[in-house]
Amino acid sequence: MPAGYRVPPYQSDSNVVNTLFFGIMAGLTAAFFSSVSYLVARHHGTREKHTSRRLLIFAHAIMGITCVLIVLSFYCTDEIVLGIWRWSIWYPCLKSTATYFAGTSVIFRVLRTSDASRISPLLGLKIIALALIGAFIYGLTLGLAQWFAVLLCAAAAILLQRGGSGLPARSLLLLSCGCICFAVADFGIVEMIDALQQSLSMNRFSAGCLALLITYILGGILVMPFVFYEYISQPVPTRDDWIAAVHYSSAWLLAMFGLYACIGYVGVILSTILQSTRGIMSVVLGTVLARHGWDKLEGAVGHRVFLKRLLAAAFMTIAISIYVMANRIN
């Protein structure tokens, strides 16, 4: 039984197996669509200079509207409507939303010039940022296993850099800044979930889902002025810009809902490990696409480079697994 997974009382063995199976499938589905979303961003974001910016803006407008509809359908109760208006909830929400947008903007910029199969595994560097921020800002005590995971993560990044032509120094610096932003956003989300649990009568899974929805609703509100700005800019947005945004937002929301379904079934630890497999999936997807003529999306690589990238992505997954398991023990 995976660490962090607790069998509900009076649940039969067959139900336990089914719960574990659906949880793992949800986690792998989330990892797959996360990989697809980066490929979509790479595909649409390289058409013209402005398309990457519009993809970011329009996709988050769509996700914001979608999340509003979900909240109205499942979370629109008097207790929630009256209970969420607290600074303890909105401060971490604002912090996580701002840093999430900063990180995503940086990643989109890097994806314009680099293969998604290179970028996705390197996002595992967020573990290093989480460890350093947790230790030196939040005063968290990290064990020897967690610092080993940090070193393994760094070694995987070096190996990935040597898997073919490495990322330019500027792109690597931007990617590192993006990982730091995502790490700060993660801490903000945790603070927001804690505040929702204290303010409302809901379990951690429901609070996590609500935090996710509120964050994307806020993101949708923040990008709306930019949507209108794009229509007074040149060139005027086209149908293709919105189609690209639908593609990206669909893949990303499927990844997020799959992740939270996985958390609900098997807990945070196994879900984090399963989500980390997106690096491996991105390497495989990138190679398959390149060999089927999508060489403008993903550069074709030889067997040796492919194996290096796959090994580096696997090291990232192992590093993340060690980190979250050690965090659970601590």
Residue 8, in any domain of the structure: no
Nearest by Cα to 117 from 246, 282, 307: 282
Q: Is 187 within a domain?
A: yes
For residues 9 and 248, give the distance between their C-alpha atoms in angstroms, rounded to a whole number.
Answer: 40
Q: Kindly state whether residue 69 falls inside one of the protein's structural domains.
A: yes
Number of domains composing the chain: 1
Per-residue CA distances from 53 to 20, 94, 167 (Å): 39, 21, 22
> Is 294 strand, coil or helix?
coil
State the Cα–Cα distance between residues 267 and 259, nearest whole angstrom. 10
Average pLDDT, the chain: 81
Query: Is residue 277, in this structure, part of any structural domain at all?
Result: yes
CA distance 326 to 330: 6
Mean local confidence (pLDDT), 168-179: 87
What's the pTM value of the predicted model, to 2 decimals?
0.81
Confidence of residue 2 (pLDDT cuts 50, 70, 90): very low
Q: For the segment 44-71, what is each residue's pLDDT rounded down to a tens digit? A: 766 666 788 899 999 999 999 999 999 9
Q: Give ∠ CA 72-249-178 in degrees, rounded to 5.
A: 110
Does 261 reside within a domain?
A: yes
Does 1 map to a domain?
no
Residue carrying structure tokens 């060690």: 322
What's the pLDDT tens digit per position in 254-291? Answer: 998 888 888 777 766 667 777 778 877 877 787 777 67
DSSP class per residue in 113-157: TS-HHHHHHHGGGHHHHHHHHHHHTS-PPPPHHHHHHHHHHHHHH
- Report if residue 221 sits inside a domain: yes
The predicted-structure confidence for 95-131, as pLDDT tens digits, reads as follows 999 999 999 999 888 888 777 767 877 787 887 888 8
Lowest mean pLDDT among 10-24, 25-39, 236-250: 10-24
pLDDT of residue 163: 58
Q: Comparing 9-23, 78-92, 127-141, 185-199, which segment has the lowest mean pLDDT?
A: 9-23
The pLDDT of 143-147, averaged and rounded, is 85
DSSP 8-state class, residue 49: T
Other beta carbons within 10 angstroms of residue 2's beta carbon come to 15
Please check the confidence at residue 167 and state whether its pLDDT lies above 80.
Answer: no
In this model, does residue 208 exceed pLDDT 50? yes
The whole domain housing 280 covers 20-329
Residue % of the chain over a pLDDT of 90:
24
Four-residue CA torsion sign, 228, 234, 240, 245: negative
Q: How many CB atoms lie within 10 A of CB 118?
A: 29
The per-residue pLDDT for 166 is: 63
The answer to whether residue 155 is domain-embedded is: yes
